[in-house]
Chain A
Amino acid sequence: MLDHVPASGCDTRPILRERGQREVFCGLTGIVWMHRKIQDAFFLVVGSRTCAHLLQSAAGVMIFAEPRFATAILDERDLAGLADAQEELDRNVARLLERRPDIKLLFLVGSCPSEVIKLDLHRAAQRLDRRFNGVRVLNYSGSGIETTFTQGEDACLAALVPELPSTDSAQLVIVGALAEVVEDQWRRLYAAMGVTNLAFLPARRAGDMPAVGQGTRYLLAQPFLAETARLLDARGARHIPTLFPLGAEGTTAFLRAGAESMGVGAGRFAEATAAAEARARAALEGPRARLAGKRIFFFPDSQLEVPMARFLTRECGMEAVEIGTPYLHRAHLAAEMPLLPAAATLSEGQDVERQLDRCLAARPDLVVCGLGLANPLEAQGITTKWSIELVFTPVQGYDQAADLASLFARPFARRDMLRV
């Protein structure tokens, strides 16, 4: 099933929509970075052995450092109704919190099995929240039937938004889990413009989450935060549409939109950012030399594909063959879409076999894909860049622009070096 449908609004680019086997992670995978981002939060997945196995496989070696996540594995007794699910949850949570008294925020994370059997985790979270003083208990679903990969972060942040304290004072909030180094850089840049009423969601600790309300203007640092944005709007906050902060161009547009919303003039903005932007553009020269003219093909993964493609084509001189994304949020990508190369196919959703056929037929120079596809494509002589790394690496902002480009340049450098 596929059809080319014209898009709505001013953007008339046709979009290839496909349904079939999807080779993507479920939203539970978001726990792998979210548990590090919020240092006193714990993520308890209610699911099956598959869920536990997925987290273990995705988290690689991290799991052994006494991770701040776990799985309550459902067994036959739970399914047969022999064990009261709510009582079982209470027992497990009590034991968990006894073991980890440092935890201030507990997420009960729904999975495919818990959603299918309609286990009411919302009610459980409310009850447990009352029972354990000093520990906030919230819930969201990271199930594969509802969420794809980074949408797990969206669901997690969306669970936080209704809980945030209220404020009507003017402030700028940057939304999306970012590397700490990136947050610190932007704090410095905004401070230089005189913007100090700046906050990040999520904060690094449960007790430091920002307040929101009528005076809040927010920037989305990540393209996959549809539900979080919707709930922020419901709290009276206003979204500032702009590019995502990838590359020099994206970062400038992003920071400028935030600065303008806080009343910073163009001169003062340029003064604060010109040096960093120039530094970013200069640093991009190295990787650009390797990337210019190379054809790139994106398999869907994180929703970062559209802004990544915009950055690689406009700032690194690459040509995009196909830009696949698991989900296309038109409103949030409104500034990005007109900047995409006209020749590129834009695809939403996936039938992995057909997409592989298209990929092999196009023989691109570089394929961005998940770990299930990377080695098989390499074995067929196609250079790949595995996509998950783009979520686990500091890539936003001026001083990471060259790092981001280098991630794509490295496979080419390696190809050139190897003589075996």
Chain B
Amino acid sequence: MQLTLWTYEGPPHVGAMRVATGMEGLHYVLHAPQGDTYADLLFTMIERRSKRPPVTYTTFQARDLGGDTAELFKRALLDAAERFKPQAFIVGASCTAELIQDDPGGLAATAGLDVPVVPVELPSYSKKENWGAAETFYQLVRRFAVKAEQRPATCNVLGPTALGFRHRDDVKEVCGLLARLGITVNVVAPMGSTPADLTRLGEASFNVVLYPETAGTAASWMQRNLGQPFTKTVPIGVGATREFIAEVAALAGVDATALLAAEESRLPWYSRSVDSTYLTGKRVFIFGDATHAVAAARVAREELGFEVVGLGTYSREQAREVREAAKALGLEALITDDYLAVEQAIADAHPELVLGTQMERHTAKRLGVACAVISAPVHVQDFPARHSPQMGFEGANVIFDTWVHPLMMGLEEHLIGMFREDFEFNDQAPSHLGHKAAPAPPPVREAPPMVEAVAVLEAPVETRWAPDAEAELKKIPFFVRGKARRNTEAFARMTGVATITVETLYDAKAHYSR
């Protein structure tokens, strides 16, 4: 058993639902107890879909368990076939149905349907949502995709699903880039495709993988079985977008010179303009799915000039990529799905900006740190009405605005460092966000961690702050105060100082400036 207050991913059958709901003409019959239909509202509310997800749940109850739940499943399947007339079905079990072992795949095979049925076996007690989406898409591709004569300079775009973070706009952005390179998009899948479209996948000469979390497995299979190479660069950030353009141009045998020569993103100039100077070395902590976390680390370091002080992911399947990216930044990657471990790591790193998920947004709020969302899981506000991709040149514009906005604006930051006693402008909240100064955030609990995975902190050595030193510390702007406190205490321990005075504070400052 794992004690969980918050989960970064849903169960694997939610991943299967994301694939089915993203597609057209595919219906999912899910063997599940009454109540599991809560998942519908992820799609109808958070993503604001105007149609019900194409999912029929058996919704068995306790009284059914004494009877024939297998018969119940069969009836649900036949009813769905008659009512929805899909091109194909996927069938599977949720966590509870997995325990009663009715074998949806076997039952569907004997139901005598005249449309293809693809069973998806998703181990609910060991795997999670993204794995479920990847496995479902892989099973569908295996079932429907066939080797065909490849058309030159033609690709499939793989990975976007329902409930994906900015998938709607990323697809539009990337397809725009491909069109301008003269590359034809054959099929975009799962999102927007039908089972019939999947049978045409083989006609492309290569695959563009936008989201390795959901399309990695299928793309590898297609490379082996259909002879289609696939892209490895995810075009998030200006540098990655340029590399992606070069990569697809090489795969398609087209010339990318003109597209690369036209400066498409405003990010480079915005980032070089003098108003961005104060962004230099801002300490940023990054957490999310592997793809977005790794991409964000590069943008933060190379394109905005931040210092990355923490990098992690909840995607165990892609942990290796994140470890490599962290190592290149001189960091140890945080691989965990326990939000309390993430919260602790953020508190320890004293960042000035957190780039994370919906969860980190709340952790950052508690700690009084600026934050922007870069990855699922997200809530309704991250399915915006306006065009807001993360990928491509426009995506980089969106990223610049989104990440810089929560930080205190440059002039205000200077004035707050100069004049500490203003009754109106203080360092609790940037005035451009329109809040009155917030009360100081509560300290992070020194409560015992809830999982053993959390590193045991070294026992704190007793260092005392003299009142005047404590008062002096308050004169340091809030976004670097935590780091100053930690550095001073470390310096005091190192030099054997028991009581920190104003002198100790400045000695430490000088020591760490060297």
Residues on B with beta carbons closer than 8 Å to the beta carbon of A23: 37, 40
B510 sits at the interface (CB 8 A): no
- Name A378's closest neighbour in chain B (CB-CB): B50
Q: Check A26 against B34 for contact (C-beta < 8 Å).
A: yes
Within 8 A of A (CB), among B13-71: 13-14, 33-42, 44-45, 48-52, 56-62, 64-65
Segment of A71-79, A186-194, A304-312, A340-348 in the binding face: A71-79
B434 sits at the interface (CB 8 A): no
Residues on B with beta carbons closer than 8 Å to the beta carbon of A91: 1
Q: Check A49 against B95 for contact (C-beta < 8 Å).
A: yes
Q: Check B41 against A372 for contact (C-beta < 8 Å).
A: yes
Task: Kindly identify which residue among A29, A53, A144, A372 contacts B14, using a CB–CB cutoff of 8 Å.
Answer: A53
Task: Kindly identify which residue among B2, B14, B49, B359 contacts A375, using a CB–CB cutoff of 8 Å.
Answer: B49
Segment of A108-116, A271-279, A389-397 in the binding face: A108-116
Known: A23-B37, A145-B61. A99 touches B450 (CB 8 A): yes
Q: Check A28 against B5 for contact (C-beta < 8 Å).
A: no
Q: Mark B245-269, 1 if CB is under 8 A from A, else 0.
A: 0000000000000000000000000
Task: Kindly identify which residue among A22, A28, A73 contacts B1, using a CB–CB cutoff of 8 Å.
Answer: A73
Known: A52-B4, A144-B36, A375-B50. A21 touches B57 (CB 8 A): yes
**What's the minimum C-beta distance from A130 to chain B, rounded to whole angstroms?**
21
* Docked complex Cα distance between A143 and B61 (Å): 9
Q: How many residues of A contact B (CB 8 A)?
A: 66
Q: Mark A87-115, 1 if CB is under 8 A from B, else 0.
A: 01101100110110000000000001101
Known: A53-B10, A115-B62. A21 touches B56 (CB 8 A): yes
Q: Check B50 against A76 for contact (C-beta < 8 Å).
A: no
Task: Kindly identify which residue among B35, B125, B445 contacts A25, using a CB–CB cutoff of 8 Å.
Answer: B35
B11 sits at the interface (CB 8 A): yes
Known: A54-B35, A56-B6. A72 touches B95 (CB 8 A): no
B94 sits at the interface (CB 8 A): yes
Task: Kindly identify which residue among A64, A88, A112, A378 contacts B362, using a CB–CB cutoff of 8 Å.
Answer: A64
Q: Mark A4-21, 1 if CB is under 8 A from B, else 0.
A: 000000000000000011
A370 sits at the interface (CB 8 A): yes
Q: Check A379 against B51 for contact (C-beta < 8 Å).
A: yes
A48 sits at the interface (CB 8 A): yes
- Name B63's closest neighbour in chain A (CB-CB): A145
- Name A67's closest neighbour in chain B (CB-CB): B5
**What's the minimum C-beta distance from A358 to chain B, rounded to whole angstroms?**
14
Residues on A with beta carbons closer than 8 Å to the beta carbon of B42: 57
Q: Check B41 against A50 for contact (C-beta < 8 Å).
A: no
Known: A56-B7, A61-B379. A372 touches B37 (CB 8 A): yes
Q: Check A21 against B11 for contact (C-beta < 8 Å).
A: no
A257 sits at the interface (CB 8 A): no
Residues on B with beta carbons closer than 8 Å to the beta carbon of A285: none
Residues on B with beta carbons closer than 8 Å to the beta carbon of A376: 44, 49-52
* Docked complex Cα distance between A48 and B48 (Å): 26
Residues on B with beta carbons closer than 8 Å to the beta carbon of A54: 35-36, 38
Within 8 A of B (CB), among A30-67: 46, 48-50, 52-54, 56-58, 60-61, 63-64, 66-67
Q: Check A50 against B44 for contact (C-beta < 8 Å).
A: no
Residues on B with beta carbons closer than 8 Å to the beta carbon of A63: 5-6
Residues on B with beta carbons closer than 8 Å to the beta carbon of A79: 99, 125
- Name A380's closest neighbour in chain B (CB-CB): B50
Interface hub of A58, A63, A85 (most chain B Cβ within 10 A): A63
**What's the minimum C-beta distance from A125 to chain B, rounded to whole angstroms?**
15
B79 sits at the interface (CB 8 A): yes
**What's the minimum C-beta distance from B488 to chain A, rounded to whole angstroms?**
30
**What's the minimum C-beta distance from B40 to chain A, rounded to whole angstroms?**
3
Residues on B with beta carbons closer than 8 Å to the beta carbon of A61: 379
* Docked complex Cα distance between A108 and B445 (Å): 25
* Docked complex Cα distance between A28 and B448 (Å): 27
B459 sits at the interface (CB 8 A): no
Q: Check A71 against B4 for contact (C-beta < 8 Å).
A: yes
- Name A26's closest neighbour in chain B (CB-CB): B35
Known: A50-B94, A61-B379. A375 touches B37 (CB 8 A): no
Within 8 A of A (CB), among B114-129: 123-126, 128
Q: Check A25 against B76 for contact (C-beta < 8 Å).
A: no
B83 sits at the interface (CB 8 A): yes
Q: Check B37 against A22 for contact (C-beta < 8 Å).
A: yes
Q: Check A24 against B1 for contact (C-beta < 8 Å).
A: no
Residues on B with beta carbons closer than 8 Å to the beta carbon of A259: none
| Secondary structure type dominating chain A contacts | helix
Q: Check A50 against B65 for contact (C-beta < 8 Å).
A: no
Residues on B with beta carbons closer than 8 Å to the beta carbon of A112: 33, 35, 95-96
Within 8 A of A (CB), among B51-109: 51-52, 56-62, 64-65, 76, 79, 83, 94-96, 99-100
B179 sits at the interface (CB 8 A): no
A353 sits at the interface (CB 8 A): yes
Task: Kindly identify which residue among A26, A57, A88 contacts B33, using a CB–CB cutoff of 8 Å.
Answer: A26
- Name A61's closest neighbour in chain B (CB-CB): B379
Task: Kindly identify which residue among A29, A50, A374 contacts B36, using a CB–CB cutoff of 8 Å.
Answer: A50
Residues on B with beta carbons closer than 8 Å to the beta carbon of A49: 4, 7, 9-11, 95, 124, 128
* Docked complex Cα distance between A372 and B38 (Å): 7
A371 sits at the interface (CB 8 A): yes
A206 sits at the interface (CB 8 A): no
Residues on A with beta carbons closer than 8 Å to the beta carbon of B124: 48-50
Residues on A with beta carbons closer than 8 Å to the beta carbon of B10: 49-50, 53
Residues on B with beta carbons closer than 8 Å to the beta carbon of A144: 33-36, 59, 61, 96
Residues on B with beta carbons closer than 8 Å to the beta carbon of A116: 65, 96, 99-100
Task: Kindly identify which residue among A73, A146, A372 contacts B2, using a CB–CB cutoff of 8 Å.
Answer: A73
A373 sits at the interface (CB 8 A): yes
**What's the minimum C-beta distance from A47 to chain B, rounded to whole angstroms?**
8
- Name B442's closest neighbour in chain A (CB-CB): A66
Interface hub of A53, A92, A113 (most chain B Cβ within 10 A): A53
B457 sits at the interface (CB 8 A): no
**What's the minimum C-beta distance from A64 to chain B, rounded to whole angstroms?**
4
A117 sits at the interface (CB 8 A): yes
**What's the minimum C-beta distance from A52 to chain B, rounded to whole angstroms?**
5
Q: Check B38 against A25 for contact (C-beta < 8 Å).
A: yes
* Docked complex Cα distance between A67 and B38 (Å): 20
Q: Check A50 against B125 for contact (C-beta < 8 Å).
A: no
* Docked complex Cα distance between A144 and B62 (Å): 8
Residues on A with beta carbons closer than 8 Å to the beta carbon of B455: none
Q: Check A24 against B37 for contact (C-beta < 8 Å).
A: yes
B447 sits at the interface (CB 8 A): yes
Interface hub of A75, A92, A145 (most chain B Cβ within 10 A): A145
A148 sits at the interface (CB 8 A): yes
Within 8 A of A (CB), among B459-486: none
Q: Mark B329-345, 1 if CB is under 8 A from A, else 0.
A: 00000000000000000
Residues on A with beta carbons closer than 8 Å to the beta carbon of B50: 375-376, 378-379
Residues on B with beta carbons closer than 8 Å to the beta carbon of A64: 6, 359, 362, 365
Residues on B with beta carbons closer than 8 Å to the beta carbon of A73: 1-4, 7
Given contacts A20-B79, A50-B11, 12 further A-B contacts (CB under 8 A): A24-B35, A26-B34, A53-B7, A57-B38, A57-B41, A78-B1, A144-B33, A144-B35, A144-B61, A145-B65, A376-B44, A378-B50
The 7 sampled A-B contact pairs (Cβ below 8 Å) are A21-B58, A22-B59, A71-B7, A95-B448, A113-B99, A374-B44, A375-B45
Residues of A within 8 A of B (CB): 20-29, 46, 48-50, 52-54, 56-58, 60-61, 63-64, 66-67, 69-76, 78-79, 83, 85, 88-89, 91-92, 95-96, 98-99, 112-113, 115-117, 143-146, 148, 353, 370-376, 378-379
